[in-house]
Amino acid sequence: MTTSRSTPTESALSEPITVPPFAVISGAQVQRALQGREKQIMELVEATYRLHSAGDSVNPASYFLRFSDRPSSRIIALPASIGGQVRVDGVKWISSFPDNVEAGIPRASAVLILNDHDTGYPFACLESSIISATRTAASAALAADRLSRDRRRPTRVGFFGAGLIARYIHTFLAGTGWSFDEIGVHDLSTDSTAGFRCYLEQSGTAGRITVRDSAEELIRNSDLVVFATVAGQPHVSDLSWFAHNPLVLHVSLRDLAPEIVLASTNIVDDVEHCLKANTSPHLAEQLTGNRDFLHGTLDDVMAGRVAVPTDRPLVFSPFGLGVLDLAVGKYVYDEVAHSGELHVVDDFFHELSRYG
């Protein structure tokens, strides 16, 4: 069934509380709702960070399902609730199976469940690997903009890791006004490097594309470094590579040795979330026994509560908040509903009478 209707949170203000219909939104619909709207989504992510910082959200710790027979794989649940105009609850259920890449399918897959604010009933299930990559890229582009305002704007970007997340981050940088004289690429996989280079060439970038043979070469020749790997533990430990004080988007969270973290200015999206699960900042906390190396959050910078110095590397480490998935997911839901292409599953909630 295809239908269009007001969202549960809109209708709850003027109608009796009822069980909402349940919709399924495909990846193709998600992509159509988000494509070409990088600036708008970045502004949505910024507004969500502000709501979260103001306390108008609930964002518990992520829950990790791990497997003894598949130690490199995991499935993560990110429950959250957000107020403001979004006013929705929900959970992202996202898996990361790195061995998928060798089989020719994406590493990550995900769904997002949206729950009605007033009844708690789920009202939508969305394909969410695109939503997850989008909110990650929007957060990175927002950080690149906000954290470079008091320093020389980067003209050379280096991507360490050349998968889907790197592609989305580049798309968001380009879509929000960034251009670079040079784009460096380094990945352990030659196929990934070639694929990312092909994407860059087809995107029409004016910058010179350079494949770097080593991590050191990439970092030393980049003013903006994007880590988008699947590393499970630190593999970059030489502080001298960062002597030019670049801006580092540490999206994959576990690339940098704690010694580099301690020698840098560190901005996170959320302190409690980032200092968990053996991220590089968490390892730095374990090494020192304190959190003095953290300068503040991205919202602190945006609100002017924190100024970032320019005399050392500047590292942004975003753990990735479930409230961002909710905000982007609700945006997608509203766009699909308003287009009249919402696919509702009839009688999904069937046993609705207490006594039959």
Q: Distance (Å, rounded) from C-alpha 276 to C-alpha 62?
A: 10
The single residue listed with the structure tokens 């696919």 is 343
Q: Domains for the chain: give ranges and CATH numbers.
A: 2-132+322-345 (3.30.1780.10), 137-317 (3.40.50.720)
Q: Distance (Å, rounded) from C-alpha 312 to C-alpha 179?
A: 24
Q: Distance (Å, rounded) from C-alpha 281 to C-alpha 268?
A: 9
Note the pLDDT of residue 227.
Answer: 98
Short-list 284, 292, 272, 332, CA closest to 53 = 272
The count of residues in the chain is 356
Note the pLDDT of residue 15.
Answer: 67
66 is written with which tokens?
């791990």
The single residue listed with the structure tokens 């996202």 is 94
248 is written with which tokens?
């580092």
Claim: this prediction has a pTM higher than 0.75? yes
> Are residues 341 and 15 in contact, defined by beta-carbon separation less than 8 angstroms?
no
Q: What is the pLDDT along the chain (356 residues), one digit of tens a residue?
A: 444 444 555 544 556 788 999 999 999 999 999 999 999 999 999 999 999 999 999 999 999 999 999 999 999 999 999 999 999 999 999 999 989 988 989 989 999 999 999 999 999 999 999 999 999 999 999 999 999 998 999 999 999 999 999 999 999 999 999 999 999 999 999 999 999 999 999 999 989 999 999 999 999 999 999 999 989 899 999 999 999 999 999 999 999 999 999 999 999 999 999 999 999 999 999 999 999 999 999 999 999 999 999 999 999 999 999 999 999 999 999 999 999 999 999 999 998 888 87
Note the pLDDT of residue 254.
Answer: 97
Note the pLDDT of residue 17.
Answer: 83
Return the HEC string of 146-173.
HHCCCCCCCCEEEEECCCHHHHHHHHHH
